[in-house]
Amino acid sequence: MQFKHVTLDFDGSVAILKLDHQEVMNAVSVDMLGGLAEALDAIEEKKDEVRCVVLTGAGRAFCTGANLQGRNNQSKKTKAGLTLETGFHPFLRRIRNLHCPIVTAVNGPAAGAGMSFALLGDMILCARSSYFLQAFRRIGLVPDCGSTWLLPRLIGRARSIELSLMGERLPAEKALEWGLVNRVYDDGVLMEEAMKLARELASGPTVALSLIRKLYWDSPENSFEDQLNLEFQCQLRAGDTQDFREGVGAFLEKRPAQFKGK
């Protein structure tokens, strides 16, 4: 399926969402944000079938941030940041609340907003040649798209501030060393490995996996008591699924579980 600067394909129970504006290295425009919204609508329409999403970029980049082309030629200047609330934030919130795990396959540069998009993955896989860049300071702006929330929780305050103040590239291997990403692969096998992982997740207990996502997303904002209560609520929901009954039965019968995502 083709949307504005976005491609969506389905491989069994895996949805492959691809940023696809190669002329600008997949920089994000208002049009692309609209395409992403439509693609997510299509995924949600197949909610019962789609059990994992892979987010990647077309061509040689993952995403190089906001598309600045033509900004200097606008007859009426728009304030920087206005599209955050109208375009970027709705997408980020929908990804956070996705009903299934998301794997990001970072196939090239992930800069600015693109870095945030990459870090939204539950599992973050990188091509060896890829890199991350907090590019905002290079054009006189501050980090956005949730990067000042995500980065300190992933790699700590000191490294986060350094990346943002200095605007230096963070290679994939260093990102792995810092604990920012999960795995690094040779460029030629990145998508193969991403799909292998996505299929494994898609064959799992989808309801429980979605609740695991919620627990870890909510954890940084909760007190210990709040988190205990949330675990309790989520466990009640997970324990009421067919997959839980199948998992216990498979364990007792010493056979592989056949989860249905229900």
Determine contact, residues 184/126, Cβ cutoff 8 Å.
Answer: yes
Quick one: average pLDDT of 37-51?
Answer: 95
Q: In the chain, how many domains are there?
A: 2
Q: What would the pLDDT profile of 191-246 be if each residue is shown by its tens digit?
A: 999 999 999 999 999 999 999 999 999 999 999 999 999 999 999 999 999 999 99
CATH number at residue 231: 1.10.12
Quick one: average pLDDT of 21-44?
Answer: 96
Q: Are residues 195 and 210 in the same domain?
A: no
Q: How far is CA 33 from CA 64, 83, 98, in A?
A: 14, 10, 17
Does 62 reside within a domain? yes
Q: What would the pLDDT profile of 124-183 be if each residue is shown by its tens digit?
A: 999 999 999 999 999 999 999 999 999 999 999 999 999 999 999 999 999 999 999 999
Range of the domain at 235: 206-253
Confidence of residue 75 (pLDDT cuts 50, 70, 90): very low
**pLDDT at residue 119 above 90?**
yes
Range from 71-85, 166-180, 244-258 carrying the lowest mean pLDDT:
71-85
As a whole number, the mean pLDDT across the chain is 94
**Residues 118, 124, 128, 132: is their CA dihedral positive or negative?**
positive
Residue 168: predicted pLDDT:
95
Determine contact, residues 64/28, Cβ cutoff 8 Å.
Answer: no
Q: Are residues 199 and 210 in the same domain?
A: no
Residue 77: predicted pLDDT:
57
Which range is most confident: 16-20, 79-83, 250-254? 16-20
Element (H, E) at 158: helix 157-166
Q: What is the C-alpha separation between 26 and 67, in angstroms, rounded?
A: 8
Residue 68: predicted pLDDT:
82
Does 259 reside within a domain? no
Q: What is the C-alpha separation between 144 and 28, in angstroms, rounded?
A: 13
Question: In 3D, which of 157, 143, 90 has the Cα closest to residue 113?
Answer: 143
Encoded tokens for 216? 């870890």
The half-sphere exposure of 20 on its side-chain side, counting CA atoms within 13 A, is 15
Q: Are residues 232 and 139 in the same domain?
A: no
* 176, 110, 169, 127: CA torsion to nearest 10: 50
User: Mapping DSSP to helix (H, G, I), strand (E, B) and coil, where does residue 79 land?
Assistant: coil
CATH number at residue 33: 3.90.226.10
Residue 109: predicted pLDDT:
97
